[in-house]
Structure formats: C-alpha cells, structure tokens
Amino acid sequence: DIQMTQSPSSLSASVGDRVTITCRASQSISKYLNWYQQKPGKAPNLLIYKASTLQTGVPSRFSGSGSGTDFTLTISSLQPEDFATYYCQQSYTTLFTFGPGTKLDI
C-alpha cells in the first residue's frame, strides 16, 4: 500500500505570509495527488487535483506542484480564512490514502 506523509504536521504563520506544505508518497504516484482544506466542524473542501489543477472557485493564491513522490501546496499570501488543516490524498491506486494532515494556525 502507498503511504502518505506530510510536513510539517503543524505550522504557525501570519496573514500575508507565503506558506508551503509538503506531501510525500512512499512510491511514485505520477501526478495523482489531491489537496483538501478542512476547517473545524466542516467537511473537507477540494483545493487542487492531479497535483496542480486548481478546483473551480478556489482562489489563485493556492497552487500545487510536483510529480512522482514529492508534492507541494503553496499559499502565496495567507488570508485569515486560510487557517485550517490541509490534507493530501493519493488517487494513483484505488486505495485513496490521505496524508496525516498539516494544521495551519496563527
């Protein structure tokens, strides 16, 4: 099975900061990597799919990159509504494993 790791597990930042979250797969998953944002008490929200494609309606300050085993989610200029937990998910195999999450707070 493919294992997903994320770093850091938590991150403190300020409004306006540029933030990068890393996701690593235990084996190559090509570009089959998705990113979700989850706020407390809410369902997850799809941000990016296939590593770099921005989901409709998601602000352009979010971007994704990477292929193979290493991926990044970048928020170019943090806004107050971006403080949340971020999860990566591989969809290369039909065991759609999530990463453990990165909690982004002030």
Partner 1 sequence: EVQLVESGGGLVQPGRSLRLSCTASGFTFDDYAMHWVRQAPGKGLEWVSGISWSSGAIAYADSVKGRFTVSRDNAKNSLYLQMNSLRPEDTALYYCAKDMSANLYDSGASDYWGLGTLVTVSS
Among 1, 16, 80, 81, contact with partner 1 (rule: CB under 8 A): 1
Q: What is the distance of C-alpha 17 from the center of its chain? A: 17
What DSSP state is assigned to residue 42? S
**32 binds partner 1 per the rule CB under 8 A:** yes
**44 binds partner 1 per the rule CB under 8 A:** yes
| Nearer CB in complex with partner 1: 17/100 | 100
**89 binds partner 1 per the rule CB under 8 A:** yes
**22 binds partner 1 per the rule CB under 8 A:** no
**34 binds partner 1 per the rule CB under 8 A:** yes
Q: How far is the CB of 94 from partner 1 (least distance, A)?
A: 4
Q: How far is the CB of 37 from partner 1 (least distance, A)?
A: 12
Among 15, 18, 27, 50, contact with partner 1 (rule: CB under 8 A): 50
E-assigned strand segments in 1-106: 4-7, 10-12, 19-25, 33-38, 45-49, 53-54, 62-67, 70-75, 85-90, 102-105
Q: Which residues contact 63 (CB under 8 A, 6 or more apart)?
A: 48, 52, 54, 73, 74, 76
